[in-house]
Structure 1
Amino acid sequence: MKRARLIYNPTAGRELVVKQLPQLLTKLEQAGFETSCYATTERWTAAEEARQAAERKFDVVIAAGGDGTIHEVVNGLAGCEHPPKLGILPAGTTNDLARALRLPRDILAACDVITGSRTTLVDVGKFGERYFINVAAAGRITEVTYEAPSRLKTMMGPFAYYAKAIEKLGTLHKPFPLRLQTPRGEWEAEVLLFIIANSVSVGGFERLAPTADISDGLFDVLVVPKTNMTDLLQLATLAMKGEHVHDSRVVYFQTEQIDVDSPETLKLNLDGEHGGHLVGRFEIMPRRLEIFCP
C-alpha cells in the first residue's frame, strides 16, 4: 500500500480543509493510500514535516492550504535527493500554482486528481538556500501578499489583499534601482515592479506571465520600469488579458539564471511569502518535483 502524508493548514480557506478532512481521508483510503495527517502550527512547520516525510520515504506528500503552505512544503522537498510525489489541495486565497496546473478549486475534486495518479515534472526556482515554485518578486505592491494578516485573509478572502493595497496606495509607484545580469547580458534601471515567474498565474492574474511554462527549464522575467500611477493602472488592466507583455513600458524575457543587485535594501517575495532581501542569484532546477495534475 502507498503511504501518503497530508500536511494541512487548519486555518486556510476559512478552515475548509478541517471541515472536509473525513471525506478527504476516505477518498485517499479507497484509492489505496495509507494516509497520516499533520496540521501546521506555525511558520516553517510544514517545510520541516515535508522534509521528514521524504526521509521516512513516504510515497506521496499532500499540501493542503494556500500558496504559503505549498511554498513551505516545496522547500521541505526540493532539496531532498529523492523527493516524494507532491499532491496539492488548494484552499488558500489566490491559489496561483493550482490555477497554473488547472487543478479544480474544490478540494474534494482536487483530491480525485491525486487518486487518479497522473503526474507531471515541474521546475523549481532556487535563491540561496530557499526554493520557490511559482514566483519571486519585489516592489511595493508585492509586499501586499505577505503583509495582509492571516486572520483578515481567513475572514475576507481576496478582499484582504485589496484592503492592504488601498492602505499602501501612496507608495505603490515609488521606484527602486535594480541591476540584472543573465548569461546573455546586463540591464540597469529604476523600476516599480520586478517579477520572476515560473508559471502563468501570479498574484491572482492568470496571464501575468502568458508564455511561462512550469516545465520548460526557464524563468519568465517581467520588469516594469519607473512610470507614473496612470501608466501603472493601464498596465494592470492590460495584464488582466495578458496583453501587457507587448507594451513598450514593460520589459519581458526568459532566462534560466539571473543575478540581481541593488544599492537599496529591498524585500523579496517568494510565492507570496517574505523571502529576505533581493540581492543574489536565482536559478532554475529543471523538472525537480513530480506533481499530480489533471
Structure 2
Amino acid sequence: MKKRARVIYNPTSGRELIKKNLADVLQILENAGYVTSAHATTPEAGDAKREAELAVADGYDLVVAAGGDGTINEVINGIAEQPSRPKVGIIPTGTTNDFARALHVPRDVIKATEIIAAGQSVAMDIGKANDTYFINIGGGGRLTELTYDVPSKLKTMLGQLAYYLKGIEMLPSFKATKVKIEYDDGFFEGEAMFFLLGLTNSIGGFEKIAPDAKLDDGKFSLIVVKKVNLPEFIRLITLAIRGDHIKEPNVIYVKSEKVVVTSEEKMLINLDGELGGETPMTFQNLNQHIEFFANVEEIPASDLDVKYEEQFTIDQ
C-alpha cells in the first residue's frame, strides 16, 4: 500500500512561491512513492493546526508544512499532542526560516521538496510552553516582540531587513522587566532585558547566538540578558551576532531541560516569531519528539547529540 502525504501550505508566503510551484511539489512527492493531496491555509487563526490534526486522524504518513516559521509552528501544534505522529517535511518560504536553516533545507521550493523525497530524516527536540508547542525559539522581553510588531506587508517587501529597521525604531523603548527564571541548575531573579530559549543555533537569521545548541539533546540553550544601559545593550547585541556574548558578566548562558518564567508585570512570550501568551510560563524540552526530513549530509556532527549512524534514517 502506498504511503500518503498531505501538503499544508500558506498560499501567500514568499510571494506565493508555493502556490506557483504546487504542481511540481506534488509530482516530486508522487515520484517518491506518495499519494499526495494539498490544503491551502486561510487567514483564520489555527487553520494549519486544525488541518494537521485532521491529517494525523486520517493516518497520513507524511505532513509537509510549506511556508514560514509561523506555518510550520501551527502544523507542529497539530501533530505534537498525538500519540502516533507522522514524519514532517518543510518547504521554507518565510522571512527568516530559522528552523529550515538548522536542518539545512534550502529556500528553493523544488530543492526543498527533493530533500523530502530523498527520505533522510532526524528525530528533533521540540519545546512546549504551557500548552503550546514551538520548534525553534521561545522568549520574552521587548526585543522578542520585534517579530510580531513588523507588519506582514513590510516583511513581504523587505524580508529580514524589515526586522532590522523595526529594531532600530524600537531601541529607545527597550527596558528591563523584573523576572524570575528558574532552570535546571539554578535561577535568576532580577531585572532582565530579555530571555531566549533556543532549540537550534539559528535565531533571527543568526547562527552564533546559541553557538553550542544541539537539535536532539533534550535541552534548551537559555540566554538571559540582565538589565544594562542602552549603549551596553547595543554592544551585547553586536557581540551576540558574532557569538562573543556568552561569557559576558551581564549574560547568563546555560543548558536546561525545563525553564519556568514568572514576572511581576506583564511579559509577552514569543514562540517561533508569533505571540504565544504571557507569563507565567513553563517551558519543557521534549526530546526527539518529531522526525523531520533534513539535508543530513550538511548538518554538522556538532549539532547533534546522537551519532550520525544512529540518528539518520532512510525510507525505502
TM-score range relative to shorter protein: over 0.9
Q: Which runs of 5+ in 1 are unaligned?
A: none
User: Of the candidates 114, 123, 126, which is equivalent to residue 124 of structure 1?
Assistant: 126
Q: Secondary structure at the match of 1:276?
A: strand
Match among 112, 119, 125 for residue 114 of structure 2: 112
Paired with 1:230 and 1:168, the residues of 2 have a C-alpha distance of 14
Superposed, which structure 2 residues align to 1:1-294 within 5 Å?
1-42=2-43, 43-172=45-174, 174-294=175-295
After TM superposition, give the deviation of residue 68 of structure 1 in Å.
Answer: 0.4
Residues 78, 289 of structure 1: 8 Å contact kept: yes
Answer yes or no: is the 8 Å Cα contact 1:11–1:154 preserved in 2. Answer: no
Q: Which residues of structure 2 form unaligned runs of 5+?
A: 296-316
* 4+ aligned runs moved over 6 Å, structure 1: none
Cα displacement string for residues 219-238 of structure 1 (whole angstroms, at most 9, x for unaligned residues):
11001001122122222222
**Secondary structure in 1 aligned to 2:172?**
helix
Q: TM-score, normalised by structure 2?
A: 0.90
- Counterpart-to-counterpart distance in 1, 2:259 and 2:18: 37
Deviation at 1:34, TM superposition (A): 1.0
Separation of aligned partners in 2, 1:262 and 1:78:
28
Give the Cα separation in 2 of the matches to 1:256 and 1:166: 33
3-state SS of 1:11 partner: coil
Per-residue CA deviations over 1:131-161 (Å, capped at 9, x if unaligned) read 0111110111111101212222122211222
What is the CA–CA distance in structure 1 between the aligned matches of 2:82 and 2:63, rounded to whole Å?
A: 13
Indicate conservation of the 8 Å contact 1:46/1:69, yes or no: yes
Instruction: Give the match's secondary structure for 2:242.
Output: coil
Between the aligned partners of 2:244 and 2:167, the Cα distance in structure 1 is 23
* 1:34-84 CA-partner distances (Å, limit 9, x unpaired): 111111102210011011101111000000000000110111111111111
**C-alpha separation in 1, matches of 2:201 and 2:279:** 22
**Cα shift at 1:186:** 2.5
Identical-pair percentage = 45
Q: Partners of 2:40 and 2:158 in 1: how far apart?
A: 22
Q: RMSD between aligned alpha carbons?
A: 1.2
Q: Residues of 2 paired with 1:118 and 1:285: CA distance?
A: 21
| Aligned-partner Cα distance in 1 for 2:104–2:199 | 15
Q: How many residues align?
A: 293
* TM-score, scaled relative to structure 1: 0.97
* Aligned partner of residue 240 in structure 1, secondary structure: helix
Q: Which amino acid aligns with 1:194?
A: F
Aligned residue identity for 1:236: I
How far apart, CA to CA, are the structure 2 residues paired with 1:201 and 1:8?
A: 23
SS at 2:166 equivalent: helix
Structure 2 counterpart of 1:229, which letter? L
SS in 2 for 1:12: coil
Alpha-carbon distance, 1:278 to partner: 2.4
**Corresponding residue SS for 1:246:** coil
